[in-house]
Structure 1
Amino acid sequence: MFLQITAQRDPHLIAAAARHGLRRPVLLARLGGWALLGLAVLLQMRGDGLNVALLLAGVVLAVVVPMFLINHGVRRAAGDGPMNLEVSDDGVACSTLESRHAYAWNAFTHVDHLAGQLVLGLGGGRFVQIPTRGLSPQQIHQVLTTAAARGVAVRRG
């Protein structure tokens, strides 16, 4: 199999892929933040006064940390100009005007089939995004089948 794709990077698809890949750490941060906010409210209601440090820590965990995680992931993946992707039996290669990266299939931890894209996870919040806008259903199936045959877990978004 050999598939070559030239695509303009879509910030909306990149943001969706980043949110999908970081959903567990974002959820944990939000839950921790809401727990701290709840504790601050309970202490206030009990008559201990407003614990500003607890309140600020809750806001930081519930709001600032998730925003930072997602924005950092999007900034890292976004760039100017078109992206060229080559998908083969050996792996996936991505190139832009600034760089070229090639990954063997065993470098990927999973493939998520999301709306409008395939997201190949590299671990640590890193991913390779393959837009599916110009691909036929057979080509998408071929990429997913090749990934699965190489031991990469395929998940539906």
Structure 2
Amino acid sequence: MIFYYNNLINKFYYEKKIKKPIVDKIIIHSGIAKYKNDKNYIKYIYDSINYISCQKPIYSKAKKSISNFKCKKGDISGIFVTLRKVKMWHFYHKLINIIIPNIKEFKGFKNNKIDRFGNLNFGIKDCTIIPDFFNEIKFGININIVVKNLKFYLEFYKLIKFPIF
């Protein structure tokens, strides 16, 4: 899988190797600030992200207290995992071929999901579309694909077979 995507990226011509676009990392994040007191919910989300990514997730904590959100400094506000190298390409392959086709009435992502640096950000509201996954509680995840050295991002994402229209 890794060699397949690397061969596709190498076909994307550049004069120098420094200018070659690189998919740097994929970040999977789920916000749990509403359920910060429910330990079973937090453990379920932690185990779910661990299962989805095949890597141990990290708790993200609040940096400062905000009284309007009833949030104290150090409270758990989310769970995330950063995938790089081999695990990143395995998850990307699973995302493209299994998870995204299971989304109902899906035609492709719009161009506004990509920022000016070429990073792609999108969310999945319900994780029941992930196969072989025991779904007791519905939750959503955000997925960020971070790319380096990218100017022509639409052509690049079409080259690595990401569904963008």
TM over 0.5: no
Larger radius of gyration: 1
TM range (shorter): 0.3 to 0.5
Give the number of the structure with larger relative contact order, counting CA–CA contacts within 8 Å between residues 6 or more apart.
2
Q: What is the TM-score normalised by the length of structure 2? A: 0.33
Which protein is richer in helix relative to its size?
A: 1
Which protein is richer in strand relative to its size?
A: 1
